[in-house]
Structure 1
Amino acid sequence: MSELQIRREKFSHFEKHCTQITEGLYVAGDLVAKNRATLDEHGITHVINCVGFLIPNYFEGDMTYFPLWLHDTPNEDIICVVYDCIDYVRTSHRSHDGQGRTLVHCSQGVSRSVSIAIAYVMWKDGGNYDETFKVVKARRGIANPNIGFTSQILIWDKRRRTESLPGGGVDRLYVIAPQSEHDPKYLVAKQVTIGGGDGGKIGVELLDSRCVFVFQTKSGVVYVWLGKDSES
């Protein structure tokens, strides 16, 4: 059997597989997301739909959905939704008398949903990216986050670890904006890119009076700038 045939067979297996990543969290693709029998078999009560612009919330009304609009491209900002996803999984797990289970899915269960799952397990267990990816890959053999998502999660993990140390913080600026044009009411904090990266100089020229900004200082103090409603 050729390598290509092996890959196809592996994909064919996992596209029908609802993969448990850790307690209360599962990963899959569209075929599982639309299969009510499979969802019920695994006790799924909540769903993170990473591709709300492409795949409907099939069982809305019977299950609780958290739709996202993530493109599987390297420049898509996935970190801006990570903490919302972590909070959603934690809250879901406590529901149904502690028996709530969350499925995070994208089209194939390869990149977007896997990236969210990796970030959650890193946060939950404290592991680094490499060791967490190995665990997830061992359970879902087609797991393969795109290079942009991998890079973002590595940077996010470094920030978390560095900022927990004395003097490890840096100044950061975020703009509050819709995660996607598909849902202008779902607002997230997107980091403003500054020349020189983290630690670069943040000045008033970066502010836009039409927007709301959050300024996080290296000491951990947070300021909110309300655009035209703020004092000059």
Structure 2
Amino acid sequence: MDTCCHSSLSATLLEGFPESLPPKFLVEHLDQLLVVDLRCSQLYSLGHIRGSYSLPLKKKKLLNSEVADSYVHKWLRKLSKFVDEERLKKNCVFHVVLYDHSSTETTKWNPIWKLFNRCHQLRLFDGSIFVLNGGFSLFSHLYPKDVVGCRVIEGSEKTAALVPLFRCNMFQDSAPCKIFSFVFLGNERNASDRDTLESLQITHILIVGEELVAHFPGVYEYKQLMIRDLETQELHPFLEEAIDFIERAKYSGKVLVHCYAGVSRSAAIVLAYLIYLGNTFEESWKFLVSRKKDIQPLGNFIRQLQQYEEQCKSLQLFDSCV
């Protein structure tokens, strides 16, 4: 078999990427890689990387120890078929790149790591397998011309927030999720629904997103955090004012914390608040997932929250010694 693609990529360029590939590399070698979209078919149809295959990954099954093994085997058989088809078409070995909404390196907080590790263990095809660093979220922001089915929304002259169409249609029908008696986690549609806000007795609204607006100024007390849903976004500069706002709302009313979809940026802020209350990151994660199962903060947000946990521990230790 002619392994021109395999030799040209693996021998030189791929050696520096043991687990994840940067978006720039993917763009430069897109025609030599088999790119697989792990998101649901609806998200794929609304926006995906050019030339990628849709092979949805059901994360609940992957995290269920009783069915995970059989599910992984079925999924990998489907992947092998895609690889074999490409090999026959172009007569070369293809390396596989997996991505979901915000794939980063294969940490235990991302279900992809189980699939990634199993792929390496089984070695079902000749090429290597990687995770796209930053996932669809980062890639679509950096290379919109290589994405099918996205549109750009201008937030200001300085910043342009790329909002894939899937975010406009998915997640938006859900009601605000009650985290505590005084904290609700929701999305943009919730924040614009006056009847819902009144029924929940909301008094404060924490907007987590630079592209969003206050719908009822003067009616509710607002705080806006200029946070973008990107792997390059820093959370730390915003955490103190976010927590102060939630704490203030606790004593005078109820607060809705929301971003656009209610699953990434706003979830990260609520996780930070839970850590602030004295919980570990893992305890905070489990608690929030028990309340809202569809949260999916970016991998970079998760890493920063783990760092925030260490900072909180250091402060608590210092206070106890004073």
Aligned-residue offset at 1:55: 1.9
Q: Are 2:274 and 1:116 equivalent residues in the alignment?
A: no
8 Å CA contact retained: 2:272, 2:308:
no
- In structure 1, what is the Cα distance between the partners aligned to 2:193 and 2:216? 10
Q: Give yes or no for contact 1:14–1:141 (8 Å, CA) kept in 2.
A: no
Q: Are positions 1:144 and 2:296 aligned together?
A: yes
The AA in structure 2 aligned to 1:68 is L
SS at match of 1:116: helix
Task: Encode CA deviations 1:28-87: one digit per residue, 9 max, x unaligned.
Answer: 111111111111111111001112x32210011111100111001122111211111111
CA deviation profile, 1:158-210 (whole Å, cap 9, x unmatched): 122134336xxxxxxxxxxxxxxxxxxxxxxxxxxxxxxxxxxxxxxxxxxxx
TM-score by length of 2: 0.46
CA distance in structure 1 between the aligned counterparts of 2:288 and 2:172, rounded to whole angstroms: 13
Which shifted more, 154-163 or 83-92? 154-163
Query: Paired residue for 1:41?
Result: 199
Comparing both chains, which one has the higher relative contact order based on Cα–Cα distances under 8 Å and sequence gaps of 6 or more?
Answer: 1
Q: How many pairs are equivalent?
A: 161
User: Counterpart amino acid of 1:165?
Assistant: L
Q: What is the letter of the counterpart of residue 293 of structure 2?
A: G
Give matches, 1:75-86, under 5 Å: 75-86=232-243
Bigger fraction of residues in helix: 2
Query: Corresponding residue for 2:120?
Result: none
1:66 paired with 2:223, answer: yes
Partners of 1:107 and 1:77 lie apart in 2 by 18
After TM superposition, the structure 1 = structure 2 runs for residues 1-232 of structure 1, keeping only pairs within 5 Å, are 4=41, 15-51=173-209, 53-95=210-252, 100-124=253-277, 126-165=278-317
SS at match of 1:148: helix
Q: Following the alignment from structure 1 to structure 2, what is the Cα–Cα distance between the partners of residues 71 and 12?
A: 18
The answer to whether the 8 Å contact 1:14/1:142 transfers is no
> Contact between 2:207 and 2:225, CA under 8 Å: does it hold in 1?
yes
Structure 1, unmatched stretches of 5+, are: 167-218, 221-232
Larger radius of gyration, structure 1 or 2? Answer: 2
TM-score (norm 1): 0.62
Percent identity (aligned): 24
Give secondary structure in 1 for the equivalent of 2:223.
Answer: strand
SS at match of 2:317: coil
Cα shift at 1:140: 1.1
- Hey, what's the Cα distance between the residues in 2 that align with 1:129 and 1:4? 31
Question: Given the superposition, is the C-alpha separation of residues 143 and 15 from structure 1 closer, same or farther in structure 2, using an over 3 Å criterion?
Answer: farther
Q: Which amino acid aligns with 1:36?
A: R
- Partner secondary structure for residue 70 of structure 1: coil
Query: In 2 relative to 1, CA 163–101 (structure 1 residues): closer, same or farther, beyond 3 Å?
Result: closer
- The Cα shift of 1:107 comes to 0.4
Measure how far apart 1:16 and its partner are. 2.5
Distance 2:204 2:232 in 1: 28
Partners of 1:164 and 1:133 in 2: CA distance? 20
**CA distance in 1 between partners of 2:264 and 2:291 (Å):** 14
Q: Residues of 1 paired with 2:173 and 2:240: CA distance? A: 27
Q: CA RMSD in A?
A: 2.8
**Once the 2 structures are TM-superposed, how far is the Cα of residue 14 of structure 1 from its aligned partner?**
6.5
CA separation of 1:128/1:14 partners in 2, compared to 1, >3 Å: closer, same or farther? farther
**Native 8 Å contact 2:207 2:223 kept in 1:** yes
- Whole-Å Cα distance in 2 between the matches of residues 56 and 164 of structure 1? 36
Amino acid at match of 1:150: I
Q: Secondary structure at the match of 1:56?
A: coil
User: For the residues of structure 1 that align with 2:260 and 2:308, how far apart are their CA atoms?
Assistant: 25
Counterpart secondary structure, 2:302: helix
Residue 178 of structure 2 contacts residue 185 of structure 2 at CA under 8 Å; is this kept in 1? Answer: yes
